[in-house]
Structures are given as C-alpha cells and as structure tokens.
Structure 1
Amino acid sequence: MTRPEPVRRDGAPARNAWRTTLAVLLLAVGTSASADRAPVLGQVDLPHSYYWRELYLPQLTTGPSSAAFLPDGEELVYSMAGSLWRQRIDSDSAVELTHPNGAYDYQPDVASDGRSAVFVRYDGQALRLWRIDLESGRQSALTTGNAVDVEPRLSPDGRRLAWVGTEGSGHFNLFIADIDAAGLHNARPLLAARKSAIDRYYYSAWDHAINPSWSPDGRSLVFVGNPEVAWGSGDIYAVAIDDPDHPRRILGEETSWNAHPEIAPDGRRVLFSSYHGRQTQQLWLTTLDGAAPLPLSFGDFDRRNARWSPDGKRIAGIDNRSGNTELRVLEVVGGATTRVAANQRKTLSAQAQLVLDIADADGQAVPARVSVIGSDGRAHAPADAWMHADDGFDRKRQPFETQYFHCQPPCTIDVPAGAVSVSVRRGFASQPWQTRTTATAGRQTRLQARLAGHALPEAFGNWISADLHVHMNYGGHYRNTPENLVRQARAEDLDVVFNLIVNKEERIPDIDRFRTDVDPASTAQTRLWHAQEYHSSFWGHLGLLQLDDHLLLPDFASYRHTAMASPYPHNGIVADLAHAQHALVGYVHPYDTLPDPTNDAGLSHQLPADVINGKVDYLEVVGFSDHKTTAAVWYRLLNLGFHLAAGAGTDAMANYASLRGPVGLNRVFLDTGGQRDATAIATALKGGHGFVSNGPLLGLIVDGGKPGDTVALARTTRYRIALRSPVAIDHLELVHNGAVVRRFTLTGERRDFDAEGSLNLADGGWLLLRAWNEAADPGVLDLYPYATTNPVWLGDNVRAASAGADATWFADWLGRSLAVVAAREDFNTAEEKTATLAYLAAARDAYRKIADEAESLPSP
C-alpha cells in the first residue's frame, strides 16, 4: 500500500507594514531598505505581530511550554527546550522523545489509546503538524507547506484531528480532518471566513477561531472566536462538528490569546485561563451553559495551557511563579500542587557541557548577552535561563531568528556533542566576541570570553546610556521583577532603565510597582525608574518620565467601541497633567511610514500640534519604528527652530520569549558627566545633550560645542567627529538643516573613524552627525543600524531656508486632523469636541503664520 503524501497547507502572503515598508524620506535622508530582514512567520496576515506571536504561538523556552496526559493520568508528554519529553508525575526523570536537527517541537496532544501523539514542529519557515508513534519513536509529517498550523487536538475516538491554521487567508481559523495510520484526509476549514463590521486595532478585520478542545462525545468543539469583538482575542464558543454554521457563544469575556477552554471529562464544566479583572492569568471554571465563572486557582503569576487528566481529577499546566516557565499538576479537589521537574534527562544524543566565563577589557567578570548554536543547528541555554528570540531575520544569512540569553558568568550549558558556535555581546562600547569549538561527549569545555573595549574618546562626553521605553511585564511567557530587569540591563551594559507602566487592554501590568523615586532594586551601575506610557492609538503614544505623584488614569483614551471611545483627553491635555508633576513628555515609536498630509485621510497623530504648543520634551527618533522616517519628520521640526530633543526606547517587552530586541537595543547616550540621578538625566535629555543609537557610537564637536549646545555662526565652521561601532557602517554623514553637507568614506572593517575638518555654511540652523545602513545586520537586532546625534545649533537664526515649506506641511497635516476629529461623533460632550478642535486649529494657524512669515522674507 502506498502511503499518501502529507496534506499541503500553503499560507497566503502577508502584509507586515511596520517591517517591510520602504519609506520615501525627505531632505536627503536616504531610503530605508531592510528587505533582507523579514518578519518571523510573515505569512500570518495580522497586525501587531509582537503580540500574537508571543501570546499565542509556541516559543522556545528552556522550561516546559505545554503538556498532555497519557491515558493513565500518571504520566505526561510535554514540550521543553524545543523537544518533546515523557515523564511520570512522581518522577524527576524525563525521557526525550524528539530532537529534530534544525527544528523545534511544541504542543503535544496524546491519543486516547496512548499509542501516539500529534505535535507542532517549527523549522524557521513555518509551523507544521507532525505525529510520533510513542512505542517506536517513528515520526511523520501530517501537514506541509508554508502555513502556520498549531494547536492540534485529537478527537476522543482518535479518528479526527482539529487544529488552527492559516492556509489560504493568513488568518487563524479552525481546520478539521479525518486521521488514520496513513495520515490526514478530507482536510477542510470548519468555519466559514467572516469579516466583522467593526474596526479593530490589535486584530484583523477577519474573525479568527483559536484554542480548540473536543467535547467528551467528540461531537463538538469549544474554541475562542472574536465576531464583533473589538478588544481581546474573543469569547468562548461551542460548535457542533456537523453544524458548523451555528456556533453558540458560551461566555463573553476579553480573553488574551491564552484562554484555551477545556471541557472537563464530565462534559459539564469548562476550564479556561483568564486575568478576569486581575493583572495575571489564573484558572477559572464555567459551564457549557455559560455560568458565571469562578476561580480555581490564585496567585501573582500566570497559569496557562491547562489540560484535564482523563479522569478529571487533575489539571496539568504551565506557570511562571519562579520567573521561568514550569510544569505543575494541580489536584482539583484540595489544590495540592506537584511540580514536574526534569532533574534527570535521558536525551536522544550524547551530551557535552560548556562553561562560559565573560570578562571586560580590565579582566573583571561581567554579564552579557550570549547565543549558543549546537551541532544540531538549535539554540541552547542554561537550564534555568530565559531564552529570547528576535522578531525578524535574513534567511540568506541564518536559518532561524537570533536566539539568546543573558549570562551571569560562569554559565553552564548542556549541548549535543560536536561543533558549537558561541557569540557574546555586551552593549555598544565593547567589541563582540565569538568562537567555534568542538564539544566532546561526556566532557566539559571551558571558554573564556574577553570583551575588548570600543568606546568613544573622552573628549566627546562622559556618557551614561538609557532606554526610555521598556515594559517589565506585558503578558509574556516569563514573570519579571525589578531585580531581574536590572540584571537584564546590566548584561546589556545599560545604565538607566525606564519601565513604562501601561495598559494591555483591560489590565495594567506592574501598576503596583509605580513609585516616584528610584526602584530599590537599582544598583550603583544600573538605575531603574518606573514611569508611564499613555495609550491613544488615535493621537499617538506618550512616554511620561519622572512623574512625582501618581500615574495618570485611566491610562488610555479613544478606545473605539467601548465606554472610553472619546478622543478626549487629547495628548496636549495629558502632557499638561504630566508637566504638572514635573515629568518629561515624549512621543514614542512614532512613524513606520512617512505621513502624507495630501493623501492620508486618517492623519490624526498629534505630534506637530503638541510641539508648537510646547508640550513635548523629546521624540523617540530611534525606537520601535522606522528610524529614518521618524528622522525626516524630526528634521522638519528642527528646521522650524524647535529644540526637540532626540530620545530612544526599545519598547522591549522584557518578559517575552519572542521580542523585537533586548532591553537597551535602542538607547540614548546622555552627557551627564557620568551622573545617574534623576535631575542629571532630565537636564541632559531635555537639553539634547547626547545621541541616540541601536549600535554605533557617535561623537560630535562643532566650534567647541557639543550636541544640544548653541554656537555662534561663523564663516568657517570647524568640526570633529568620531565613530565606534560593533558592526560595519555604510554611511557616516554630517547633516545641516536636513541636507547632507559632508559624507565620510569608511574603509576596512568600517567600525572606527575619526576626522576633523571645516564647513562653509551660509545659513544658521543646526548640524548633526548620523550613521546608518541601508540593510539589516545580524549584529543589530533591529531594522538596520542607525544612530544620530542631537543637533548643535548654529547662531540665532535657527529657522532653515525651508521653514516655509515645512510649516505648510505641518499646517496641512493638522488640517487633515481637524477633518478627522470633526467627523467623530463619540466625544462624551460637545465641550470636549469643541476644545479639541480649537486646540488643533490654533496649532494649525500657528504653523500657517510661520509659513506666511517665511514667504514675506526677501529672497536671498
């Protein structure tokens, strides 16, 4: 008998605008070209990939990530460190079942007869379904192609398989197929595609269906779907397999990708995970009739991916009470909990051990970021380390996204015997270190990483580095603490961290951490402050640093289809409230594409109005956005004479397993004289005394002045510059009033450069130094390497010759905003709308006045 080929599941091409857009930049900024760096799983056509990828899809963690009971209820099959393992609950010994070279395995589901299990395999390109015979260990593919297939669930009789896939649409939907020894047959979507009538910010306009679980009789599924749900991943539904056109809603609740409803073996109760008015996720029970949910578990940590035992007496699930993920089994009656720990591991291949020591240029032990790739083509880390992964990569240069952990040396890593590559990075002022070695089975290999210094000459400033935009906890796999966040920052050679407390839809993680002084977890080297991000996707997000009394609540505005739909308060009001608390106000992660006042009908971002009204202290020129595009808008504001300082923030979700970059990926270097106190930081940041970067270090002195200073306009302007970079740099340029006035030729490794010279500048205005690449570099976990100094201001006439055109551009922008606001009917009161329109109109008129003044000036 010929075995049929696996069912092919091809995903549709996806849009991921914030990563793939080529921005047309003004004023000789250049062109963004990061096409070689593509998103992880870009075939999924959903917005905000950093949420659904972390909160929904399986990720590589050193701890367990999901589990399923064997029929006796005494043994589990679970995923851990990219492999499947089998272990008895009362044992500390785990047996490895799978270990694919160049791939990772997740989400097992065991057949009711205990003979086989289905699971998910990730190979850097797609997520596909596989099956393993638990007796022989034989593995076979069930789906192929380029789709994302996850959450496989076998029916109780073992004859059908349900799962979530993206084939044909790029959206998550329920699929079902018959399954036998030969594979899958008659694979099909269970639910018809449906588009909701309401607009959604974090979710596609197309409905999704996720988290399937079978009823005990195998006739129906429960799942999570989001028809007409604006916020949250959806409500809990039930659907009969033979009547898929009539799903029935069981419970309406704002879930967050991880509800995973599970019908109990008794067929009555439904177990699910929810934060349900809290800050963390715990286990709850409802019924198939939608009874008011009651909590089954409690704790200041997350419990997820829960599964009933076949007899309904136990629940296995993953929690992060210790910080990392752990597998625990809960007794339903009595609540006794057993941790299933793999203290002894029987692996499929011979193992070796690496011990890594890390020291700085002075020979002092220092923590750092480490990547280890074993002979199996997989990433490895110490058993208790938090594994992290980048959100994009160049598939011509590496098979997987960069995966890494933070090492507090010495670090011990178990790896398969054979060739191993190790790379170590620590901040921007140390040279990267890497090596390849051979790990011998049963032996220990000790490695010494010495990180050579690579700092700027002292003449350019006495710097501290700060990440102005970090989220300590934001719904991720791990549970972070101030102490651990400080350790993360220290490993990245970061001096200052601002943890921006902000809502994730209904909840505000870390709200109980807010304080007005430095966190007690801070050290002499690394300071941690808790600050705030104010959410309004209509007006743009704000960073509020150094509030001295309280958080501004409710922390967000303009949440459509809710009781807080009103666009009031607008960001100017919020800025006033923050400034009343002596805070600094900045616009964060602003622009992925260049605003177009001529054609952008929905242009409501409030930056220009707030800048001209004196509300803004800094702009994240380097942040979770396109840096060159953001700089193009910034240059126009500088051309109008606004001393708007450049800030930088990673927007790192520091408890994520999959995130855009580590804490400190985007940082501002502040010339504080080495001081780390709040006053020195605020003075340097607001004054523009420094530069922003995701890798290159820049030094600039102009006629004796440094960034943020004003110097007299001279017939000949003298400059001195310096570049130090951990990666090769393509372009190093001096920019005057938005135009490149000097390009420097970099040769050799293109990582070090020093120069002095002069310029003849007819006009005043501003001058800055920037470094950038067209394409991504694996050494910088961002769109592309980029750095810019703040400007040095030249003379008293700080408006550029292009000020009239720039002011008209912003006036047209605000004209678009006025039209958008005038069309909204969801203000709470007429007074709110009138005040908002008046604020925007006054800002528009102020820009028009600048344009008129520029037109009236005599031509040169």
Structure 2
Amino acid sequence: MRHSALAFLAAVAALVAGAAFAAGREPVLKQIDLPHDYYWREQYLPQLTTGPSSVSFTPDGKALIYSMAGSLWRQAIGSDEAVELTHAAGAYDYQPDVAPDGGSVVFDRYDGAAVELWRLDLATGREQRLTTGGAVNVEPRLSPDGKRLAWVSTAGTGHFNLFVGEIGPEGISGAHLLLGERRSRIDRYYYAAVDHALNPAWSPDGQRLYYVGNPEVAWGTGDIWSVSASDSADRRRVLSEETMWSARPEPAPDGKRVLFTSYHGRQWRQLWLTTPEGAAPLPATFGDFDRSDARWSPDGRRIALISNAPGDTRLMLRDLPGGAETEVIATQRRYRSPQGRLDIDIRDEAGRPVAARVTVTGADGRAYAPDHAWMHGSDGFDRARQPMETHYFHCPATCSVSAPAGPVIITVQHGFRRLIWRGEASLAAGQTQALAVNLKANDLPADFGRFVSADLHVHMNYGGHYRNSPTRLAAQAKAEDLDVIYDLIVNKEERVPDVAWFRPDPDPASDAQTLILHGQEFHTSYWGHLGLLNLSDHLLTPGFASYRHTALASPWPDNGAVADLAHAQGALVGYVHPYDNPIDPAKETTLTHELPADAAHGKVDYVEVMGFSDHKATAEVWYRLLDLGFRLPAGAGTDAMADYASLRGPVGLNRVFLDTGGERTPAALASALKAGRSFVSNGPLVGLELAGRHPGDSVALGGKRLAYRISLRSSLAIDHLELVQNGRVLKAFALTGERRNLDAQGEIEVRDGGWILLRAWNDGADPALLDLYPYATTSPIWLESPQGPPPAPADAAYFVTWIEKTMASAAARDDYNTPQEKKQVMDYLQQALDRYRGLAGTKGRAHEH
C-alpha cells in the first residue's frame, strides 16, 4: 500500500515539476457538447467543496446521507458525528439518493475522465457500478417503489438528457432516453440549440417525473415541466420560470406542493413553492445568499438544504412551517482510513507570514484543504500529465489540513514575483506534521518600473457555490500577491448579484496592501463585452443589450454608444476577453465584434490582451490595430468568477502590472493604464527599456540603432522571448538552462517607425499554470520617425472585410426599436469603414503576422 502510494505521488511530482513543452490542455469533462462550460460546469455539475454539497434523507427521516469533501457521509439528526461511507482513490462522490427501503444509496462518482453512477449497499459497504461508457451521468433519483431510476446523462449526444431505466440487484436494465432530442426554433447564445432536460424528481405516486427543460427559451435553463414516466407524449409545463441550472423541483410527500430553487426577480437563489398545476409561486425562504439542493423529509415537515450564508457551503435543516433552521455540523468525523494532520506555515523571503495559494495531494490522489476553506478546481488539464484537474485553496499564512496517513505532495504559490515552492511530507496516523514553507523572491530589477499589479476583470459573485464579499475578495487578492481588484458588476440573465456593492470610491474592505474597486462589465454578446472602470456616479442600466427574444433585443445601444455614456462619467472603457480563436474575416460566416469600429472612433482606452480568451489570437488582432496607429494599451483581466468552486483560475491569473511610481490610487492606476505604462502576464515578468524609455513612452528615431535592455523572471520554463516590431519578430533571445531568467542588453537596428514590445510565450500548456499557456507582453514603446509609421494596407483591408460583415449582419437585424436606432448604428459603422478603406488605399508594404 505504501509503495503504491509513493509511486503515485512520485508521478504527480513529475507532472507538476514545471518543465513546459507542447501539450494539450483540455476542458474538464470534454465529452459534454455544450457552449459556455464555465456556466453549466459550476452551476449544474457537482464540484469538490470542503463543506456539504448535496443531501438525501433516510426513509425513517432520522438521518441524512450527504456529500462532503468528495465522500458520502451519514449523520443522525441531532448527532454531531458523521461517518464516512465512501472514499474512492483519485475520485469524488456526489448527489446521493437513498433507496426507499433504506438499504442502499445511489450516487455519482467523478474520476477525472467521466461521471458514472454507482450504488452503495449500506449494510455491507459493497459498491456497484451502474453505468459505463465514459459519459457524464448525474442527478440519480430512485422512484418511490425503488424499482426505477431516473438520471441525466450525456450518453450518445454530449447533451444533458433525461434517462429512465429499471434497477434491480444486477444494476440498471432497459435504460432509455425518455424525451428524445429536440432542437428549438429560436437562436440561443448561452445555451445549445438542442433542448436539455435536467433536475429529475419523481411524483409521490411514481407516475410522473418533474424536470427542467428549455423548449423555445432563449435565456435561462428553462421552465419546470412534468412528464409521464410511461408516456413521454404526456408532457405538461408546470411553471414558466427562468431558472438557472439549479431549480431542482422537488414535489412534497403530499403531492400538493412543489419546492424549487429560484432567484425570481432577486439577486440570490432561495426556495419557492408552487403546485403541480403551476400556481403562482410564493417564496418559502428569504436572504441575500443562496439556498439550494433542497430535499423534503419523508413526513414533509422539514427541508434539508445547502446554504452559503457564511460564505462556504453548509448543511441546514429547516422546519416548514415555522422556519427554524439548524446547521448539521460534523464536529466528529469517523473516517474510513487513518488520518494525519499537516500544519503549514508560509513565509516570504524576509521571514514574514504571507498568505498563498496551496495545493495538497494525499496518498490517495485526492485533494485536501482545511475545513471551511474554499476549495477551487481548475477548468482544464493536460491528460497526458495529470489524472485530474488541479484543486487548490487559499491559506492565510498558517493552516491545518487533515489527510489520509502517508505521503502528501504540497505546492505553494504567491503571485508571480516569487518562485513556486514544492515539497513533500509524510503524515502519521493520529499525529501532526509541521511544514515550514519559505518562499524565494524572483522579481524584475527595480529600475524597470515601480509596478502595481491589478486584475481588471473579476466578478465577486456570479452564481457560484460560494458567497463572496469584499473582505473575502481582498483575502483572495492577498494570497495571490495581487494589489488591486476591479470587481466588474454584471448581470447573469436577470440577476446582477453584486449590484448593491457599487460605489465610485474604493471599497471599505481595501487597505494599504489591497485595493478593491467596483466597476462594470456591460454585456452585449452581439458587439462584444466592455469593461467600464472608474465610473464616477452610477452603473449603466440595465447593463446589457441585444438580448434576442426579449424586450431588450435591439442592437442599440451598441458599444460605441455605451462607451460615450461611460466616458461621460470619466470612466475608462476596455474590450474584455476578445478572441478565443484566430480571426480571418474573409472566412467568418458572421462577424459582429465592434472593437475595430470603436478603435477607429477613438472609444477604446485599453484591450484585455490577456484574459478569458486565447492570448495569441487576441494579440494578432491587437497588432493589426497598433500597425494602423491606434495606441491601444495592453490590459489584463482573469474574468474570475471569484465565488466559483470550478474556474479557469483565481483572481490575478491574468494581471496587468502598472508603473504608477508605486501609487495605488484609482487616478494613478487609470493614468498608467491609459498611457500604456504596463505589461500583462499570467506568470512571466518582462521588463523592457529602449533608448532609456519604457512601455507607453515614445522614442524618436534619430539614427538606425537603439540601445535596449530587457529582463525576464519566471517560475516556469519559457520557450520564447522576443522583441516584436510592427508585428514581426525583431530579435529572439536564446533561453538556456532552466529557461526562467534572463537579463540582456545591446543595440538593435530599427528602420521604421511604429511600435516595439517584448513578449514571452510558450507553445503549450504547463501544469503549474491554470491557463492555456504561459504568456506575457509589454505594452508598446512608440517609435516616432519623420515619415510617420509605415503604411499597413493589408491590415486596413483586413478590417474593411471585418466591418463589411458586421454591417451586413447589423443591417439584417429586424429587432431595432426605432428606425433611428438602426440609422445610428449603421452610420457609426459606415464612418469606421470609410476610415479603414482610406488606410487600405495607402501605398506601402503589407505586414506579416
């Protein structure tokens, strides 16, 4: 046993050693064929949390079986002891449903490759696998007689569909798709063209199934329906309701009420009641936090639910009627295997306590964290190098973690200016092992600038498992060595969860180390999303436009009009997470992103060159705009949903370093960003000096050779370090040894005006980086010559084609509110098109990219 555990951990250590090479980072559960996985993965699929995540009553109503920390647990109501029922090596268990006879429980198990259904015999502890095939199978629900099983599966299609089968001692038989696949007649942006069926629950008589479906629903996961378990043609809409993945309708034992989760015109999810006939819903609970995953007790007098009122997830019992709510706390835990404890003490290079991001992998290949810590999982991983995505938590300098006795692997990261720390420890049963972590500095030379790091794009709350606050957000920033967070308040369908937090001045949770600023992301999935920083008075409402099949369907206000409204408040306007793939306008069927038009009109103050997008694809478009003389600084924002358990990365994964001279005021930050005194990165630090000037500055070309000085510091091996002028590599620097650090200086021949920058990048992913691949770039230094920048007709022609396609799409829209709206949009695009046509007619060489 110990030998196999050591071998496993040695393999894990090799995987995270940080040697970057061309590799394939792929999404978690890549077999699911649905758009916008960062929504359904978090808001629908179960995730690893240290607290409870789903629950089921035993038939006598005296105990609960629930999922917590990736295992199933049983706890008698009124007791403080929880007994671990399942614990699979390298896998996590969720969503238990206890059989009506109390003898077994069905559940789903995630192993890094798929989610399969299993059954646990509660008397013998025998586990039986119920599904195979590598699909995603979730939400198992046993019929009241225990003879049938309903669940949701992606089997055969990659879409979430409702399945039903007979279940007996040998497992599932006669499994079939209950509803079949159907394609809606309307277009949808966040949801697939094919309808889904989610959240099954049996009626008390076992004749019908309640579920959530979205036929002809453009936004939200859809309506509450019921369907006959024996005749799929007998289908009834119970309630028209814009649910958000987690409605989970639950009929009461008396069959007269249906409990479900909804935000229903509010900002947070609470419990509501309707009837099988669809009576107007009434709220059962209230609060500025989420209650979800609710289950009735067998006698219908209690509800077990999951709450995030304190921030993390908690299991609650609530009386109905009455409303008394009691937390079910596992003060004592009886584990299936002996446990040890690891006490971690993290200090920086000066010996000062410092918060950090920590990964702890136990001898069983599972991730561990302190009780009540927020466990987070990455959204992708390279299957050739990891068996499962990376899970991590934030440790406030000192923390204690329980894990199975045996070896553990620990990784500690604190931003980009210190090296990643990696180590091992051995836990003995019933004992505590102290672990001292001493971080080492690895920063740029100070004369490249006095930088303040900022994430320009964070969402404090966005429908995740947790409930965030400015104080918690500041703690997350400290652990990531991030100086500034711009919390961009934004809608998700009808909700704007953080609307009450907006204020023009810094949040009171800010301190001398961390600044929290509240801005806005304006949503229009037609024109592209905008970041609005430093709004001086109010949020722009409703905050979204061009939502098809709604009263806000009109493509106006377009982003140019929105930028004018923001600039009137003194705000900075940026394009956020622009491009996931390279853009070839000639080959695109439709192209509506308005960045080129807004750049031509001078509406854009920065571009998220790094964000929740493909950095190289975004840079290709950015370079073309720079070639044409548009001085667009590089910004960066993670688009971190900071209340998620599963996300691409933590706050500060993509960040901008602003040379403010060390100032941390909103005005100093805005000035440095708009001037381009910046570099952006997800790990490597890059410094550039040309003729004594830094990014954002201009250099007059008096001769043909200029002195340069560059610097690279990185925790990760870097493949490429290059000076780029006007879209072409001017000089590549050879990286040797560990390929992490380099200082170089010399002279370069510069023939033309235009721009120059320094970039570092890798061909493929690195397991230590929770992003597509390592990347960093400075903003440009501008090269001024008497002849001006060289013409770039090929780049201008590229945007001519782009805007022509945008205009064709905009002209075809029939949902403007007035002819004046359409005319305003078309005139605006025509003016931009005329400018690019003029630039395309300029004679000169084409630029290569």
| TM-score, normalised relative to structure 2 | 0.96
2:126 paired residue number? 138
**TM superposition shift of 1:741:** 1.0
Alpha-carbon distance between aligned partners in 1 of 2:525 and 2:146, rounded to the nearest angstrom: 46
* Count of residues in correspondence between the two structures: 826
Deviations 1:791-844 (A, max 9, x none): 111114686545111111112211111111111110000000011000000000
Alpha-carbon distance between aligned partners in 2 of 1:35 and 1:754, rounded to the nearest angstrom: 28
| Contact 1:111/1:158 (<8 A) preserved | yes
1:473-552 equivalence runs, <5 A: 473-552=461-540
Deviations 1:688-716 (A, max 9, x none): 00100000000000001000000111311
- Out of 544, 561, 579, the position equivalent to 1:556 is 544
1:824 paired residue number? 813
SS at 1:143 equivalent: coil
1:7 paired residue number? none
Do residues 212 (structure 1) and 200 (structure 2) align?
A: yes
Do residues 412 (structure 1) and 412 (structure 2) align?
A: no
Alpha-carbon distance between aligned partners in 1 of 2:845 and 2:125, rounded to the nearest angstrom: 82
- Out of 142, 146, 156, the position equivalent to 1:158 is 146
1:664 paired residue number? 652
Amino acid at match of 1:560: R
| Contact 1:539/1:604 (<8 A) preserved | yes
Alpha-carbon distance between aligned partners in 2 of 1:119 and 1:144, rounded to the nearest angstrom: 14
Query: Any stretches of 5+ residues in structure 2 without a counterpart?
Result: 1-19
Do residues 454 (structure 1) and 442 (structure 2) align?
A: yes
**TM superposition shift of 1:675:** 0.6
- Out of 530, 546, 556, the position equivalent to 1:568 is 556
RMSD (CA atoms):
1.2
2:763 paired residue number? 774
2:302 paired residue number? 314
Alpha-carbon distance between aligned partners in 2 of 1:855 and 1:432, rounded to the nearest angstrom: 48
Alpha-carbon distance between aligned partners in 2 of 1:104 and 1:742, rounded to the nearest angstrom: 49
SS at 2:842 equivalent: helix
**TM superposition shift of 1:106:** 0.3
| Contact 2:791/2:842 (<8 A) preserved | no
2:775 paired residue number? 786
1:70 paired residue number? 58
1:115-134 equivalence runs, <5 A: 115-134=103-122
Alpha-carbon distance between aligned partners in 2 of 1:120 and 1:174, rounded to the nearest angstrom: 15
**TM superposition shift of 1:758:** 1.2
- Out of 739, 744, 753, the position equivalent to 1:755 is 744
SS at 2:634 equivalent: strand
Do residues 841 (structure 1) and 827 (structure 2) align?
A: no
Do residues 586 (structure 1) and 565 (structure 2) align?
A: no
SS at 2:588 equivalent: coil
Identical aligned residues as a percent = 63
| Contact 2:792/2:844 (<8 A) preserved | no
Alpha-carbon distance between aligned partners in 1 of 2:843 and 2:564, rounded to the nearest angstrom: 30
- Out of 590, 611, 614, the position equivalent to 1:602 is 590
SS at 2:367 equivalent: coil
| Contact 1:533/1:541 (<8 A) preserved | yes
1:172 paired residue number? 160
Do residues 395 (structure 1) and 383 (structure 2) align?
A: yes
Do residues 467 (structure 1) and 459 (structure 2) align?
A: no
- Out of 695, 707, 710, the position equivalent to 1:718 is 707
| Contact 2:468/2:643 (<8 A) preserved | yes
Alpha-carbon distance between aligned partners in 1 of 2:581 and 2:423, rounded to the nearest angstrom: 39
1:379 paired residue number? 367
| Contact 2:457/2:640 (<8 A) preserved | yes
CA 1:653–1:856: 2 relative to 1, 3 Å:
closer
| Contact 2:753/2:790 (<8 A) preserved | no
- Out of 251, 261, 266, the position equivalent to 2:249 is 261
| Contact 2:72/2:96 (<8 A) preserved | yes
**TM superposition shift of 1:95:** 0.5
Alpha-carbon distance between aligned partners in 1 of 2:419 and 2:834, rounded to the nearest angstrom: 51
1:737 paired residue number? 726
Do residues 727 (structure 1) and 716 (structure 2) align?
A: yes
SS at 1:355 equivalent: strand
2:174 paired residue number? 186
Deviations 1:270-323 (A, max 9, x none): 000000000000000000000000000111110010000111111101000000
1:17-416 equivalence runs, <5 A: 36-416=24-404
Deviations 1:692-743 (A, max 9, x none): 0000000000001000000111311111000001100000000000000111
Alpha-carbon distance between aligned partners in 2 of 1:330 and 1:34, rounded to the nearest angstrom: 52
Do residues 746 (structure 1) and 740 (structure 2) align?
A: no
Amino acid at match of 1:291: A
| Contact 1:34/1:783 (<8 A) preserved | no
**TM superposition shift of 1:33:** 10
Mean CA deviation greater in 598-607 or 295-304:
598-607
SS at 1:625 equivalent: coil
1:639 paired residue number? 627
**TM superposition shift of 1:107:** 0.2
Alpha-carbon distance between aligned partners in 2 of 1:290 and 1:666, rounded to the nearest angstrom: 46
Alpha-carbon distance between aligned partners in 2 of 1:356 and 1:531, rounded to the nearest angstrom: 36
| Contact 1:467/1:650 (<8 A) preserved | yes
2:754 paired residue number? 765
**TM superposition shift of 1:599:** 2.4
SS at 1:90 equivalent: coil
Amino acid at match of 1:812: T
Amino acid at match of 1:69: F
SS at 1:307 equivalent: strand
Alpha-carbon distance between aligned partners in 2 of 1:789 and 1:137, rounded to the nearest angstrom: 58
**TM superposition shift of 1:523:** 1.2
Alpha-carbon distance between aligned partners in 1 of 2:772 and 2:787, rounded to the nearest angstrom: 32
**TM superposition shift of 1:459:** 1.2
| Contact 2:610/2:636 (<8 A) preserved | yes
Do residues 810 (structure 1) and 799 (structure 2) align?
A: yes
1:8 paired residue number? none
SS at 2:162 equivalent: strand
Do residues 432 (structure 1) and 391 (structure 2) align?
A: no
Mean CA deviation greater in 845-854 or 129-138:
845-854
Alpha-carbon distance between aligned partners in 2 of 1:298 and 1:820, rounded to the nearest angstrom: 44
Alpha-carbon distance between aligned partners in 1 of 2:32 and 2:577, rounded to the nearest angstrom: 23
Query: Any stretches of 5+ residues in structure 1 without a counterpart?
Result: 1-31
Amino acid at match of 2:537: D
Alpha-carbon distance between aligned partners in 2 of 1:765 and 1:153, rounded to the nearest angstrom: 64
SS at 1:38 equivalent: strand
Alpha-carbon distance between aligned partners in 2 of 1:187 and 1:33, rounded to the nearest angstrom: 43
CA 1:799–1:312: 2 relative to 1, 3 Å:
farther
SS at 2:527 equivalent: coil
| Contact 1:726/1:779 (<8 A) preserved | no
Alpha-carbon distance between aligned partners in 1 of 2:309 and 2:768, rounded to the nearest angstrom: 33
**TM superposition shift of 1:852:** 2.1
**TM superposition shift of 1:659:** 0.4
Alpha-carbon distance between aligned partners in 2 of 1:130 and 1:724, rounded to the nearest angstrom: 48
CA 1:211–1:450: 2 relative to 1, 3 Å:
same
Alpha-carbon distance between aligned partners in 1 of 2:800 and 2:505, rounded to the nearest angstrom: 40
| Contact 2:573/2:603 (<8 A) preserved | yes
| Contact 2:118/2:130 (<8 A) preserved | yes
